[in-house]
Amino acid sequence: MALIVRIDVDRPYGREPFLRHVASRVSSDFWWPRMESLGYLRELKEMLRWLNERGARSYAFFRRCTLPDESVLELMDSGQHVIGLHLENSRSFKTFLREKEDLERHLGRRVHAFSKHGSGGRRFGRSHYAPYEPVKYVDWARKSAMDLFLGNLEDPTLEPEITDGLRVYPSAFWLEPSWRDTGRFPLEWLVRRAKETDIVLLVHPENVLASSDLAADFQTLTGAITTRIFP
Ligand SMILES: [Zn+2]
């Protein structure tokens, strides 16, 4: 069994230094040019290079403000990673479809997988609809013939539901410790669990790259455990 690596690409310019942090915040709400000089998606590219060196594969989920540029697409394609939607405006089926179609137009290909930005509570930016309503998303996934939804619950023991070609993983093992019961679910637990079943490992590149410990954990896990993409 294997790791399903889920990369939520939240910030176009990461968190550091301050100017990049500001650019990330502003471009989440307003139009802002993609600036190579500020390191557009630098953290994601670094992460994809590690995965490609190990022959490990992942799903990367993009927001409107983090759409993949040419160099990200090259890294994604050469490592055979899968592009998904990181849904922000989940107010209705219509707003969901609009985001999905915008991403598909940008890519020139269909998108079959998605995840949701935010787990309820705080609103992150103008186009973000904060409530977390997974039952709705599963319904939309069916209506639009998508085949994978990766949910945000934090109990990594929850089982997936697989019906009629749609796979729903309600929860993930969040690498960043703020969203994980680290006492119950240390990294060793994940290594053991991945031997028995497929399990989602969720990461945010700007957090992982900002911490040498998390970066080392990510490299160790994706180097030691087989990763999987569904056909
Ligand atoms: Zn997010």
CA of 224 from ligand 1 middle (Å) equals 26
Domain boundaries, position 121: 3-224
For residue 213, being part of any structural domain is answered with: yes
For position 43, what pLDDT does the model report? 97
83-98 per-position pLDDT tens digit: 999 999 999 999 999 9
Distance in Å, CA 65 to ligand 1 centroid:
11
In terms of Cβ atoms closer than 10 Å to its own Cβ (0-12, 13-18, 19+), residue 27 is buried
Residue 48's identity, in one-letter code, is L
Give a yes or no: residue 230 inside a domain.
Answer: no
CATH number at residue 88: 3.20.20.370
Q: Is a pLDDT exceeding 90 seen at residue 52?
A: yes
87 Cα–ligand 1 center, Å: 8
Q: So what's the pLDDT on residue 8?
A: 98
Residue 124 lies in a domain: yes
What pLDDT shows up at residue 17? 92
pLDDT higher than threshold 90 for residue 220? yes
3-state secondary structure of 88: coil
Task: Classify residue 127: in a domain, yes or no.
Answer: yes
**pLDDT tens-place string over residues 77-130:** 999 999 999 999 999 999 999 999 999 999 999 999 999 999 998 888 888 999
DSSP β-bridge partners for residue 60: 7, 83
Q: Supply φ then ψ for residue 200, to 5 degrees.
A: -85, 130
Residue 44 lies in a domain: yes
**Residue 128 Cα, ligand 1 centroid: separation in angstroms?**
10
Number of domains in the chain: 1
The CA distance from 80 to 182, in Å, is: 31
pLDDT for res 149: 98
Residue 209 covered by a domain:
yes
Place of tokens 């802002």: 32
Q: What is the mean pLDDT of the chain?
A: 96
Gap from CA of 8 to ligand 1 centroid (Å): 6
Please report which confidence band the pLDDT of residue 132 belongs to, taking 50, 70 and 90 as the band edges: very high
pLDDT in tens, 140-179: 999 999 999 999 999 999 999 999 999 999 999 999 999 9
In this prediction, residue 121 carries a pLDDT of: 85
Q: How far is the CA of 159 from the centre of ligand 1 (A)?
A: 22
Residue 160, in any domain of the structure: yes
Residue 231, in any domain of the structure = no
